[in-house]
Amino acid sequence: MLKVFVPKERAEGETRVAATPETVKRLVKEGLSLFVETGAGAAANLLDAAYTEAGATIVPESGLKEAYGTADVVLKVASPSPEEAGLIKEGALLVGFASAYKNKDAIRILRDRKVNFAAMELIPRISRAQSMDALSSQASIGGYKAVLLAASHLDKYFPLLMTAAGTIQPARVVVMGAGVAGLQAIATARRLGAIVEVSDVRPAVKEQVESLGGRFIEVDLGESGEGQGGYAKELTKEQLAKQQAVVRERVVAADVVITTALVPGRPAPRLITADMVQEMRAGAVIVDMAVEQGGNCELSEMNKTVVKEGVTIIGHPNLPATLPLDASLMYARNVQTLLLHFLKDGAINYDFGDEITAGAVLTYQGEIRHAPTAELVG
């Protein structure tokens, strides 16, 4: 019987957990033996007793080394620290986010220890893998929370209000990037009654933006900005300058700007410059969801809320972790589906002829299979 271990997340600010009592119950039913570190789900209000009732064995912190060293499968959210990576046994399957650009040492250790790492962010965006797509499930939560943060810091209402004291005009919100996070931000801002304008380099998203009640900002880049897997691709300096010029007018007139623009494997594109912030009205709010990869706003600061030129700039690197219960429920279901994809006749099967397996497996038997990560790690 395969032994599956779910440790408590130790990365700063990480409140999510990779398995919930719901998914534990399903995995036990599939014939797996589940071990969960004590307190693993506590930050998400998922208590040890619920895991025990679902069929898991609770592991005290003193048993951490043994649990890591004997587990056939380790389920995590954040990439392991170098210390954690050094505890996982050779040949085990590790499932979680890799975030290789900031965890190179851990990736090297996993490679050298011949741990097989299935990275959640590498799952291909195909219809067959939608139920495994943790990037989308977590981005949706992040986009929702970004709007709530903006509303809580803004000095005015979001909706249009007709009152005895006169009319209150609705807030003007600009969303930069209409991926999953951006689309959820649009929907949430519209529910709160704001006027929403949206910038994206991919013309194909215009219909989705308009279906949610947003106004699409047209930018003629001479070619589509869409890259592989539906992501935006990196723009040339000329294209980026053209985009900034068109969007600038909307940004400086906005009450709220939410930036979500990311390019896989690259620093976040710089969309809001310092001089644009200077032109915004005092009291406006920017939520930079790309801060962990360098930020879309020149003045955003990692893990800080700062006021620059009278504008509040929020640089929270992990918004999904601020809603730990639902973020964990969704992430754990993504992980469960991926793990069951690997499970064949009671064993972990690596079929690299399968598009999902070939895309998701980062390290395998001492090699880094993902070329950009291999180049990064060296």
Asked if 243 is an active-site residue, the reply is: no
Among residues 215, 231, 270, 354, the one annotated as catalytic is 231
**Sign of the CA dihedral 41, 330, 228, 200?**
negative
Out of 79, 133, 184, 333, pick the active-site residue.
133
DSSP one-letter string for 32-74 = PEEEEETTTTGGGT--HHHHHHHTPEEE-GGGHHHHHHH-SEE
Q: Measure the CA–CA gap between 292 and 295, rounded to whole angstroms.
A: 6
Name the active-site residue from 130, 169, 211, 224. Answer: 130
Q: What is the CA radius of gyration of the chain?
A: 22
Can you read off the two tokens belonging to residue 365? 């038997």
Beta carbons of 59 and 5 less than 8 angstroms apart: yes
**Other CB atoms within 10 A of residue 99 CB:** 18
Q: Known catalytic residue: 133?
A: yes
Known active-site residue 266 = no
Helix (H, G, I), strand (E, B) or coil at 166: strand
Pairing between β-strand 57-59 and β-strand 172-176 as defined by DSSP bridges: unpaired
Sheet holding 3-6, edge to edge: 57-59, 33-37, 3-6, 73-75, 93-96, 116-119, 361-364, 367-368
Annotation marks residue 231 as catalytic: yes
- Alpha helices by DSSP H, listed for 212-363, are 237-253, 274-279, 324-342, 355-360
33, 101, 113, 136: the active-site residue: 136
Residue carrying structure tokens 């900034």: 244
Residue tagged active-site, from 125, 190, 215, 270: 125
Residue 112 bears catalytic tag: no
Contact partners, residue 90, CB within 8 Å, separation at least 6: 113, 114, 115
Residues labelled catalytic: 125, 130, 133, 136, 231
